[in-house]
A and B are shown apart, each in its own frame.
Chain A
Amino acid sequence: MVKTSCGMCYGTCTVDVHLEDGIVSGIEGDPDSPQGYGNICAKGLSAPMMLYDPSRLNYPIVRTNPVKGIGVDPGWKRISWDEAMDLLTSKLKECMARDPRGLYTVGSPTFPAERAFNILSFRKAFGTPNYYTGGGGLHCGNGAHMIGGIYHASWSVIPDFKYTNLAIYWGCSKGHGAGHAANVAAKQAADAKARGMRLIVFDPFLSTQASTAEEWVPIKAGTDAAAALAMANLLVNEYGLYDADYLKWKTNAGYLIGPDGLYVRDKKTGVPLVWNTGTNKQDAFNSKGLKDMALEGDFEVSGVKCSPSFKILKEHLKKYTPQYASEICGVPANTLRRVAKDFGEEAKIGSTINIEGKVLPYRPVASIYFRGSQGHYNQAWDCMSLVLLNHFVGAADVPGGALAFGPPVHLGYPGTGKLKYSVEPDKDGLMVASNWPYAHLPYPPNEPKDPPQRLDLQDLFYIPTYTTIMAWENNEELWQKFKIPYRPDVMISFATNQIMSVGNPKTLFENFLKKFRFIASFNIYSTEFEEAAADLVLPDASFLERYSSATTFPTVGVSCHATGLGEWIWAIRQPVIQPMAERRPMVDVILELSERLGLHDKYLEAVREWVDRAYGGDIDLKKVFKPGEKLNFERLLDVIMKDRFGEDKGLEFFKEHGYLKWDKRVEEVYWRWFNDVRVPVYLEWIIRAGRKSKAVAEKYGVPDLVDWSAHTALPDWRPCPTHAEKDPEYDLEGFYWRSALHTYSMTMQNPWLDEVSQNDPYTYTIQVNAETAKRKGVKEGDYVWLENPKGSKARGRVHLTDGIRPDHVAIAANAGHWGKGLPRAKGKGVFFNELIEIDKEHTCPVSLGQDICVKLKLYKDGGARSG
């Protein structure tokens, strides 16, 4: 038996893998591990079928057909590893000589720990700023992560399952067995429901969580912000249900705002001012003598008229009457009223709870968003509106409230005090995370590069994630205008299928992938991406055949942690069997490449930076490694773990035990109460940051790069392009949802999961409301086309249900593979991404995330009917 971390999704449950005669014969959960509690899902149980799949890549292959394109036969030819390494090294050397920035790196979202050492560290060592996550479009959570970062120093939010009494889910299904913390959240959510936690789910579709919830509220896709802002309006303007103390001391609600929309600052110190109600004068927000401050009223400071930001926000919200919101979101005004009141009252504002001798605010309500609510043009403000509900009632990172998904505070491993990081205030008092695994922190805003260096122009903005601007139709024009001197040259991809995971595949290929001279992909299958675009494919080892460090750390950015009190865990992934055939773990190849390219020291420096930022603490790896010592991943892991946990807890310890666990502290889980940090209910800094980005764009003659008017301080609902669609033919709003049986769509190649999916009425079908289907003359099992106004279309089989709004159609996952390398998955399910446009109109102007709303017409396929 070997103890390791599952890698079938990013839940990374601890598993015991059993072997019989050297064959992986079974997998089960480790009951002592907080990562899974001994339970295991269908995906994890199916891992042997992926390990032994005859379609797995077993040796390097190279393209012989010079023509690239979707549906083109690449003419794969087997080559040796020596030939493959020589080829890749020479292409990278050429790229380095031309301009190292021409290297584009891409990594899988499923393996954050692996990605750190193979793609991210190599990228840094090579000297390119260009990187995006395989799902940078459809699957990525720009708005969600940006807002999670600003308000919780974390990736997302999740209910405090142990104490929450009322959770509102907005287009998310946390606890249904897929996505973030799939398995641990499933158990925690089940415990919460058994305890009596009430769940109200706003979703166009009767999702798994909606079907077990107390109430399902069928809302129109992309309109959550309208509903939430109406509820916020009711809480502050009608019901008076808000936590004034929280707003005063944990947010910038009291900060005075001048006529220019910016903070009124102390002339000498530059510190933002509040109105001290004790002295009836202005005062620094952090003044020692400040006992109370105004949240409302009009004041004058040095001749400047000003008001607390809360007053401005309160006034701003008045236009979101329940009636107005109802017309947008399709939810009756009375329902919005009832839910808002319920939420505000259930928050028990002012109450406290004693946990382990510490008295903390008790706010047992949580407004929780994720993928669904964030997949829209207005996603940054959508998510802001949804978390604002929590911050109005003080239900943020306190018992019962919305907790940071992946707490940003860890006080150190008890044995060594290392692995330590926390949040801290900046000079304006706002929270700064010290642990964020991507380009830069969510706050303070990154200074825009002038001119931008990245092909996706991400560094012109302040978002902490990725964009798809590099695939816009006018990308060449943008690169020229911004004087970007290099072009796409070589791409290295780790475990992605960009053709299926970003947006419309033709757009991505024509505008972006086609422009590369050479694309090398490390993968376990030859997917649609490799077939269309790759020149060289290297057979990666799957998670049962390789090492990985720290599948659960950093706590921010890996997506697997259990919520609330319990235990921390540092777990590794280790080979259960040696890589089969000629498969090689990508990281080993990257280390060899680094040596071949003379990047030994630069690679170690990049790893040091990553370890420092992600795991807290500094190790000078160049001193640890002997001069001339070749890079070796096992050695690297041993060094890192001994440094963190002590000499007796190196790789050997982890190979034997699989993980190390220790108790979470109240100060870590409910960190907000213990740290003097504030969050902005009024996003003043976005005005300033947006102006800076805009100025750079204007300087280079692209004043209308995005809609800059969205870079403002106050939340609003903005329509998606689909909401303005006038052609009555396109009468259905399409959206996708995550199935618990699958991780994206790679798992559809797994015959066990595929067979169960075929027997399930939802996984591979288009779900259409029964009345709508009747109107359109469509019956159960009919094959239909879904077509968007640009003529992109997807075909699929209809499943009739009453569990969906009549004006919507739902599609599970993002299926419909056609690649020859995935024979089992081929033709299964519906390829939703075909319908998603990659362009300015479908990009959130603030977070630059992909809008996945799509208006569709549905018509019967001329072909045969099938059951």
Chain B
Amino acid sequence: MVIDLKRCTSCHSCTVACKAEHHTPPGVFWAKVVRLESGKYPTVVRQALPLLCMNCKEPECEKVCPTGATKKRPDGIVIVDSKQCVGCRYCAVACPYGARNFSSDWTDYFTGEKKPSSEFAAHSKKKWMKESDKGVVSKCNFCVDRVEKGLKPACVNACPTEARTFGDLDDPESEVSQLIKKRRGMQLHPEYGTDASVYYLPAR
């Protein structure tokens, strides 16, 4: 995935698109936007940085997972098999991007209780429990179900400024590869050797 920081306005559409797609419960964010500020008034720069799982080519999380629940698929997407996950959270510690979430139990957004407060909440609970059982670690999977259907990940689909592009990094002719080349796309913390699959295009 490529994220163009020149286009991003930190509107949080990605954050909520992810929530709406995966029905993540309170406190769980597979996608988020952090805001960084540097400099002294009046020479100050504020930058929005959208974050999600970097779906690394060399995923630290996979290496430390004791049960093999975290797997890298041949297409590069890193997934968590919630049936195999025991919730030890080694992966959450190992991930240098803070991309992993642990939730002990599903709770209702309005009441904070385990009982759904509406038919939508019941629907939401069903969806979440299917995707990620309670007491396990979860994270962004590039909307693998959508991608397999030929759709774009939910955050890419929603982004009002079209700051996100999804595609095949292994294909040098793909739009993502071309953008990285032309705009000098950067990975976050390349020094960690994770070889992240998310690239950022500079704002300035």
- Chain A positions near chain B (C-beta within 8 angstroms): 20-21, 23-29, 37-42, 45-46, 48-49, 51-55, 175-177, 182-183, 186-187, 189-190, 193-194, 206, 208-209, 211-212, 216, 218, 740-741, 751-753, 755-756, 759-762, 769-771, 801-806, 824
Residue pair A25, B123 in contact (C-beta under 8 Å): yes
Q: Give the residues from 25 to 46 in chain B that come closer than 8 angstroms, CB to CB, to chain A.
A: 26-27, 29, 32, 35, 37, 39-42, 44-46
- Chain B positions near chain A (C-beta within 8 angstroms): 4, 6-7, 9-13, 15-17, 19-21, 26-27, 29, 32, 35, 37, 39-42, 44-48, 109-111, 117-121, 123, 157-163, 203
Residue pair B21, A26 in contact (C-beta under 8 Å): yes
Residue pair B35, A761 in contact (C-beta under 8 Å): yes
CA distance A39 to B8 in the complex (A): 13
17 further A-B contacts with Cβ under 8 Å, apart from A41-B158, A51-B120, A802-B40, are A21-B123, A29-B158, A41-B160, A46-B20, A176-B9, A177-B161, A190-B9, A208-B10, A209-B9, A211-B48, A212-B203, A741-B12, A751-B26, A756-B15, A802-B41, A802-B44, A803-B41
User: Which residues of the partner chain A approach B32 to less than 8 Å between Cβ atoms?
Assistant: 759
Shortest Cβ distance from residue B54 to the other chain A in the assembled complex, whole angstroms: 20
CA distance A42 to B14 in the complex (A): 7
17 contacts between A and B (CB under 8 A): A40-B158, A45-B19, A53-B110, A175-B9, A177-B11, A186-B160, A190-B7, A190-B9, A194-B6, A211-B46, A211-B47, A212-B203, A751-B26, A752-B16, A752-B19, A756-B15, A802-B44
User: Which residues of the partner chain B approach A41 to less than 8 Å between Cβ atoms?
Assistant: 11, 13, 158, 160
Residue pair A42, B9 in contact (C-beta under 8 Å): no
Residue pair A186, B9 in contact (C-beta under 8 Å): yes
> Which of the residues B29, B39, B110, B162 comes within 8 Å of A751, measured between beta carbons?
B110
Residue pair A804, B41 in contact (C-beta under 8 Å): yes
Residue pair B118, A54 in contact (C-beta under 8 Å): yes
CA distance A98 to B110 in the complex (A): 46
Shortest Cβ distance from residue B158 to the other chain A in the assembled complex, whole angstroms: 5
CA distance A235 to B157 in the complex (A): 45
CA distance A40 to B37 in the complex (A): 27
CA distance A20 to B120 in the complex (A): 10
> Which of the residues B37, B42, B163 comes within 8 Å of A216, measured between beta carbons?
B42
User: Which residues of the partner chain B approach A29 to less than 8 Å between Cβ atoms?
Assistant: 157-158
Residue pair A762, B203 in contact (C-beta under 8 Å): no
Residue pair B26, A755 in contact (C-beta under 8 Å): yes
Shortest Cβ distance from residue B11 to the other chain A in the assembled complex, whole angstroms: 4
Shortest Cβ distance from residue B150 to the other chain A in the assembled complex, whole angstroms: 14
CA distance A27 to B157 in the complex (A): 11
CA distance A208 to B158 in the complex (A): 19
User: Which residues of the partner chain A approach B20 to less than 8 Å between Cβ atoms?
Assistant: 26-27, 45-46, 48, 752
Task: Tell whether A211 pairs with B111 under 8 Å between CB atoms, given A41-B13, A740-B11, A740-B12.
Answer: no
Shortest Cβ distance from residue B60 to the other chain A in the assembled complex, whole angstroms: 24
Residue pair B16, A740 in contact (C-beta under 8 Å): no
Shortest Cβ distance from residue A96 to the other chain B in the assembled complex, whole angstroms: 41
Total A-B Cβ pairs within 8 A: 150
User: Which residues of the partner chain A approach B45 to less than 8 Å between Cβ atoms?
Assistant: 211
Specify the chain B residue showing the minimal Cβ separation from A804: B41
> Which of the residues B6, B27, B159 comes within 8 Å of A212, measured between beta carbons?
B6
Shortest Cβ distance from residue B44 to the other chain A in the assembled complex, whole angstroms: 4
Residue pair A190, B163 in contact (C-beta under 8 Å): yes
Residue pair A206, B46 in contact (C-beta under 8 Å): yes
Task: Tell whether A40 pairs with B41 under 8 Å between CB atoms, given A27-B20, A49-B109, A752-B19.
Answer: no
Residue pair B119, A23 in contact (C-beta under 8 Å): yes
> Which of the residues A26, A753, A760, A771 comes within 8 Å of B41, measured between beta carbons?
A771
Residue pair B13, A40 in contact (C-beta under 8 Å): yes
CA distance A772 to B203 in the complex (A): 29
> Which of the residues B11, B39, B42, B117 comes within 8 Å of A42, measured between beta carbons?
B11
CA distance A461 to B167 in the complex (A): 59
CA distance A216 to B42 in the complex (A): 8
Shortest Cβ distance from residue A410 to the other chain B in the assembled complex, whole angstroms: 26
User: Which residues of the partner chain A approach B162 to less than 8 Å between Cβ atoms?
Assistant: 37, 39, 187, 190
User: Which residues of the partner chain A approach B44 to less than 8 Å between Cβ atoms?
Assistant: 206, 216, 801-803
User: Which residues of the partner chain B approach A741 to less than 8 Å between Cβ atoms?
Assistant: 11-12
Shortest Cβ distance from residue B176 to the other chain A in the assembled complex, whole angstroms: 16
Shortest Cβ distance from residue B126 to the other chain A in the assembled complex, whole angstroms: 10
Shortest Cβ distance from residue B43 to the other chain A in the assembled complex, whole angstroms: 8
User: Which residues of the partner chain A approach B203 to less than 8 Å between Cβ atoms?
Assistant: 212
CA distance A209 to B9 in the complex (A): 8
Residue pair A186, B11 in contact (C-beta under 8 Å): yes
Shortest Cβ distance from residue A828 to the other chain B in the assembled complex, whole angstroms: 15
Task: Tell whether A740 pairs with B9 under 8 Å between CB atoms, given A751-B110, A824-B110.
Answer: yes
The residue in A27, A212, A740 that gathers the most chain B C-beta atoms within 10 A of its C-beta is A212
CA distance A206 to B40 in the complex (A): 12
User: Which residues of the partner chain B approach A52 to less than 8 Å between Cβ atoms?
Assistant: 117-121
> Which of the residues B9, B15, B17, B157 comes within 8 Å of A177, measured between beta carbons?
B9
CA distance A216 to B39 in the complex (A): 13
CA distance A539 to B153 in the complex (A): 37
Shortest Cβ distance from residue A571 to the other chain B in the assembled complex, whole angstroms: 18
Residue pair B12, A28 in contact (C-beta under 8 Å): no
> Which of the residues B16, B118, B157, B158 comes within 8 Å of A753, measured between beta carbons?
B16
Shortest Cβ distance from residue A533 to the other chain B in the assembled complex, whole angstroms: 26
Closest 5 CB pairs of A and B: A190-B161, A177-B11, A52-B120, A211-B46, A52-B118
Shortest Cβ distance from residue A429 to the other chain B in the assembled complex, whole angstroms: 41
User: Which residues of the partner chain A approach B11 to less than 8 Å between Cβ atoms?
Assistant: 41-42, 176-177, 186, 740-741
User: Which residues of the partner chain A approach B4 to less than 8 Å between Cβ atoms?
Assistant: 194
Task: Tell whether A28 pairs with B157 under 8 Å between CB atoms, given A212-B9, A756-B15, A824-B110.
Answer: yes
Residue pair A806, B16 in contact (C-beta under 8 Å): no
Task: Tell whether A39 pairs with B158 under 8 Å between CB atoms, given A25-B123, A52-B119, A211-B47.
Answer: yes
